[in-house]
Each structure stands twice: as structure tokens, then as C-alpha cells.
Amino acid sequence: LHLEEKHLVPETKEINGILMTKMISDNWDKIWNFQAKPDDLLIATYAKAGTTWTQEIVDMIQNDGDVQKCQRANTFDRHPFIEWTLPPPLNSGLDLANKMPSPRTLKTHLPAQLLPPSFWEEHSKIIYVARNAKDCLVSYYHFSRMNKMVPDPGTWEEYIETFKEGKVLWGSWYDHVKGWWDAKDKHRILYLFYEDMKEDPKREIQKILKFLEKEISEEILNKILYHTSFDIMKQNPMANYTTLPTSIMDHSISPFMRKGMPGDWKNHFTVAQNEEFDKDYKKKMSGSTLTFRTEI
């Protein structure tokens, strides 16, 4: 991968009111017309909700717990990130997806209303992972500090407002989790929660196994649990994003595998910020049956 500084200017441009990188927006027709297949598996999340973790779990399941096979490539090359667009000759998500033999496992952060319609038409299976707003915000804040491909978050105080207004890449967290929550009643979607995965990873992996119609031995299940634990993934260069040059992701500012704990928001929000956030949250989430745990 050879990215130069000039590629890293994180220009943004909206698609239907949703903030995207300019490269994604400029390539939107191709992304919207992406051809999904019935045997595709899509891992869909709001940014920082536990995407990489879920990708590792799914890859381990698909490879029957073979750690070596799961280290064949970086997470981002094993599972094409369909909308992610880079300047040629770098591989964009669409290029990787179109080159990949089936059955494919793909990744997206798109809100449900912007998902290429072929996924719905082909009835591809989708795993959606949601994470509580406050921990997502904290994680996204630190990620935006260390990742030069996304806009600078500004100060913590500024970022809280930016996040609440949904003026971040892939738009409003509130609309994202609600949009996919509604979509799950009409489509083949397994809707999971980061907090549940943390509380009882075995139980949640079993849900994924059932959804994928796959059976494995207790021994392999335990192997998957171990290999996808936070501490082990943090040490895994094929999963922790450390193979990217520091000009793209600077882990000395904040590591990609940062804390991996529900409730870390308490170390960031002041009492006043928290009250303000909760008040706004109630308004934005009113009328939805979707609920979150902010600690376990």
C-alpha cells in the first residue's frame, strides 16, 4: 500500500444529506449499483461499533477456527469495505469485492437507506452490530484523531456536538441504528449488540453460528473465543491495523485497539455533558423500541 500525504486530505461531500468522504460521493453511482449475490454475507455497522471484532469472529467461523488461515491478510483485504474509495492504483472496496470469489464476506458502514438495493433484492444475509451511542462517540473521537483519512474531530467539546448533529462520516448514529432496526423486520438481518458480545461472547457467537447455519465443535468454539478476545486481537497485526503506515493511522496518538470496554464514556463525559447528551438522546430516540445498555 503506497499512500501519499496528498491522498490523505479528508475532503467530505454529502450523499442525500449523509456525510461521506468526497471519494465515496464522487463514486456513488458505481457503489449504488454494486451487484450483491445471494451467498454474500454483509457485516454492517455504524463506525466503531465492533466491526473488526465481528469480522474476525466470522472469519474464524468460516475457517473452522484455523488461526493461520485467518492471518492470510489484513482484515480490510479479507473483507472488502464496499463503499471505501481510494485513488487508483489503490484498491477500492468495489474493486476488491468484484475480484473476490464467492462466497464473499463484505463490510459496510452505510445507513440502511443508502445500502445498494441489490443486497435486498438478492436476500443476502446481513449481520448488523450496534453499540451504545456514548461509547461509539468516544471511540469515534479517538479514531478520528489517529486516522488521517477521516476529518479531524476538533476538541472533545466540539466533537460531542458534531456527533449529536450527525455531521460525521456515515451520518447520524441515531438514524443509523434506528434505520437498521426497522430493516431487520423485513430482511435477513441478525441484529447484535456490542455490549451483549462483551458480556457473553460465547452466546453471541452461537447466534452467529445459527444465522450462518453452521455447526462447530466445542473445542473450535473455545478457540474462536480466545482468538477473538480483545487482548489477543490487539496483538494480531492482521487485525489491529498496525500494518498501515503511520502517515495513515498513527497508533501512538491512539491505538486502533484502544480499550474495548463498555462504559469507557464515563472517563470522558463531564456530569453536565452527560445530562445534556441524555436529554438530546431521549428526543432523538423517542418512538423507537430500540434500547441500549451503556455499561455491563
* Single residue of 184, 223, 259, 268 touching ligand A3P by CB under 6 A: 259
- What crossing angle do the helices spanning 271-285 and 173-183 adopt, rounded to 10°? 40
d(CA 248, CA 189): 33
Q: Could you tell me the smallest distance in angstroms from the CB atom of residue 5 to ligand A3P?
A: 23
**In this chain, which stretch among 35-43, 181-189, 225-233, 245-253 interacts with ligand A3P, using CB under 6 A?**
225-233
**Looking at 79, 109, 142, 227, which residue is catalytic?**
109
Residues 115 and 170: beta-carbon distance below 8 Å: no
Question: CA torsion 98→104→110→113, rounded to 10°?
Answer: 90
Nearest to 131 by CA among 13, 226, 28, 265: 265
Regarding 53 and contact with ligand A3P (CB under 6 A), the answer is: yes
Give the distance from CA 165 to its chain's centroid.
20
Nearer to ligand A3P, 120 or 230 (CB): 230
Task: Look at strands 18-21 and 12-15 and give their pairing.
Answer: antiparallel
Restricted to residues 62-81, the positions that interact with ligand A3P (CB under 6 A) are none
Restricted to residues 137-156, the positions that interact with ligand A3P (CB under 6 A) are 139, 142
Number of neighbouring beta carbons within 10 Å of residue 207: 15
Nearer to ligand A3P, 49 or 189 (CB): 49
The answer to whether residue 251 is catalytic is: no
Residues 138 and 145: beta-carbon distance below 8 Å: no
Nearer to ligand A3P, 21 or 228 (CB): 228
Regarding 45 and contact with ligand A3P (CB under 6 A), the answer is: yes
Regarding 257 and contact with ligand A3P (CB under 6 A), the answer is: yes
Q: Could you tell me the smallest distance in angstroms from the CB atom of residue 142 to ligand A3P?
A: 6
Which residues are annotated as catalytic? Answer: 109
Q: Which residues bind ligand A3P (CB under 6 A)?
A: 45, 48-53, 135, 139, 142, 228-230, 233, 257-260, 264
